[in-house]
Structure 1
């Protein structure tokens, strides 16, 4: 019988000639803590959880309760909530990694997997919408000044979460809990619909990586060209931040999707290589949840000056920096056009 089993949400097929409910013939013993790779990934996952949980919680507190509600703070707050929820459910995966079996029942198998996918992909789509918003603000400053509102930004956030929910539906349908080789596993069961495995993997790759990456890199390429053409900034920091954003997205998500696609034809590849690749790819994808607050909040043009101030002041100034920069650019454009107000 063909199953798809994972330690988080990657696909790994294996052959099992036993019946799904057959009693185990031996007692399962976890060996994760005896393996170098598993211990390394465990330490990294715990660090991702701690940094992502605390970092995003701090962003939520500042952008949600300490700052005036604007389009920019709406983006920051929504992205932080998405990454925060993702990190909140990481302990389930970490426990599964250590014990090498699922201890939380069928409902939580489906629920945690679905929630984590909702937040993973809503985060990706929010990055896309932030990129589009920044690109529009630079390319069409007068129009953006008149049309960018908190209500419209909130509607876009709802759309991002809706798309994330849509991509998480397969987890609700295919996730199951079974006993296999003496242990309980939470896995994707594509036995009855073999083509579904390929459809789910390919659709997630296209919708969750290819299209977002193309949009992000096009937007930031346009922004960089516009900034250089208009000599809008004397500092290279904005260009470095934009490059870091694109690079982080690419390197965090590409390994995950590559090995998920390779796993579709697992019989053609080395078993051990697939396992290692899927585990490392999953861990790198999770790392994006704590990189987002660092790249979007803590990196600013006045980082050295803000570093000397308190953490809260540093975050508030960094998040407000983009709004001030956009305001200065809009004001400059308004003066050139002889129209539009000088306020965002």
Structure 2
């Protein structure tokens, strides 16, 4: 039997144990759970961060979906970024479950949502990194084999690749469906990891997630971008570097946000060798930093992608025109034309 004090956050905000447990009727009558979140500084800070991530991520990704899905011409690039935005949007849509759980320090949504919400979190992680890998490979092919890319790089093929990425992501998210359970502990319901398939089931899941969701993608992306940089420098290509900057920022942000989480999840495998307070704090901070990645992506789109900025400005002007009626149409049309002229040299993402 593993140590009862083992805690496995596993990309969720509750304390989780690696084996089944339920309070006895006597224990249920003795322990009455009371939330202590509001009295802990770290919990209050993380709660504020979570709410900010939810609001900014939900609205920001919805905006990116609206612009890239309905306002921009459908291209291979917009297909990649639209899928990324959908992944982050779904993640943010389910954040309120974890926010409520953190405040109450109790899971009140039942067994199905315990499994489903956790699965959505990992679905976001895997789909994001797989799409970043695909975009990196796409950039590599476009630079190294430009003629082949021009003849074979189509929106239909890009959509099929995106679908394959989602299928793999769903498959790798299944451990949450299998191992997440709801039980009672000291008078409260908790959503925890019940690794009961074998002695090494916990380690197998953690290591496989680290390799498939971090190490292997990182190696592929580094190789692709190293070759791209060498190719561009060798041939002194003078094309706009805007798409390259956007993609580099997205990749860097993803790995900076996710590295602490993976580090502490791996340290947790040998939790008896580390201070529990440091480990639990690291898991909490790492989890919230990972969640922050979902609202940073749309920020990068808006501030680094000229096409997104241009479409956003034009869309706002259109809405203002409809709201102000006939009196404002002349001015709005003039501003729209001015904005269009200013953005003629904009670069597609």
TM-score (norm 1): 0.83
Distance change (3 Å), C-alpha of 1:102 and 1:131? same
Give 2:58's aligned residue: 53
Q: 2:101 aligns with which of 92, 96, 103?
A: 96
Given the alignment, which residue of 22, 26, 29 partners 2:24?
22
Written as runs of structure 1 = structure 2, the 5 A alignment for 1:25-36 is 25-36=30-41
Relative to 1, partners in 2 of residues 1:312 and 1:214: Cα closer, same or farther, differing over 3 Å?
farther
Q: Distance in 1 between matches of 2:246 and 2:204?
A: 35
Q: Is the 8 A contact 1:235 1:301 kept in 2?
A: no
Say if 1:156 and 1:224 are closer, same or farther in 2 by CA, change over 3 A.
same
CA distance, structure 2, for counterparts of residue 60 and residue 246 of structure 1: 19
Contact map agreement 1:63 1:73 (CA 8 A) in 2: yes
- Note closer, same or farther for the CA distance 1:10–1:144 as it changes in structure 2 (3 Å cut): farther
Which 10-residue stretch deviates more, 113-122 or 219-228? 219-228
Deviations 1:209-263 (A, max 9, x none): 0011111222222222333333333877666545433321221111111100110
- Map Cα deviations across residues 266-299 of structure 1 (whole Å, 9 max, x no partner): 1111000110000011111111111222234530
SS of residue matched to 2:182: strand
Segment drifting more, 59-68 vs 216-225: 216-225
Distance 1:321 1:185 in 2: 49
Distance 1:146 1:89, change over 3 A: same
Shifted more, 286-295 versus 180-189: the winner is: 286-295
Q: Summarize deviations over 1:22-50 as a string: whole Å, max 9, x none.
A: 24221111111111111111111111111
Aligned residue pairs total 318
Distance in 1 of aligned mates of 2:227 and 2:55? 35
Tell me how far apart the structure 1 counterparts of residues 243 and 158 of structure 2 sit (CA, whole Å): 23
Unmatched 5+ stretches in structure 2: 318-338
* Deviation (angstroms), 1:5: 4.4
Alpha carbons 2:240, 2:347 under 8 Å: kept: no
Gaps spanning 5+ residues in structure 1: where?
324-344
Q: Determine the structure 2 residue equivalent to 1:203.
A: 208
**Which residue in 2 is equivalent to 1:213?**
218
Query: Which residue of the partner structure matches residue 339 of structure 1?
Result: none
Which shifted more, 251-260 or 229-238? 229-238
- When the two chains are superposed, the root-mean-square deviation of aligned CA atoms in Å is 2.9
When residues 93 and 308 of structure 1 are mapped into structure 2, their CA distance, relative to the original with a 3 A threshold, is closer
**Helix, strand or coil: the match of 1:193?**
coil
Alpha-carbon shift at residue 174 of structure 1 (Å): 0.5
| Counterpart check, 1:9 vs 2:12 | yes
Give secondary structure in 2 for the equivalent of 1:275: helix
Choose which of 247, 256, 261 in structure 1 pairs with 2:261. Answer: 256
Query: 1:66 Cα deviation (Å)?
Result: 1.5
Q: Which residue of 1 aligns with 2:122?
A: 117
Aligned counterpart, 1:271: 276
Q: Aligned pair in 2 of structure 1 residues 177, 51: CA closer, same or farther (>3 Å)?
A: same
Normalised by the length of structure 2, the TM-score is 0.82
Q: Does 1:224 align with 2:229?
A: yes
Tell me the SS of whatever aligns to 1:29: coil
Give secondary structure in 1 for the equivalent of 2:22.
Answer: coil
Residue 322 and residue 140 in structure 1: after superposition, are their counterparts in 2 closer, same or farther (change >3 A)?
farther
Which position in structure 1 is the counterpart of 2:182?
Answer: 177
Q: Deviations over 1:278-330 (max 9, x none)?
A: 00111111111112222345303799x9599557699xx79x8236xxxxxxx
Equivalent position of 1:322 in the other structure: 348
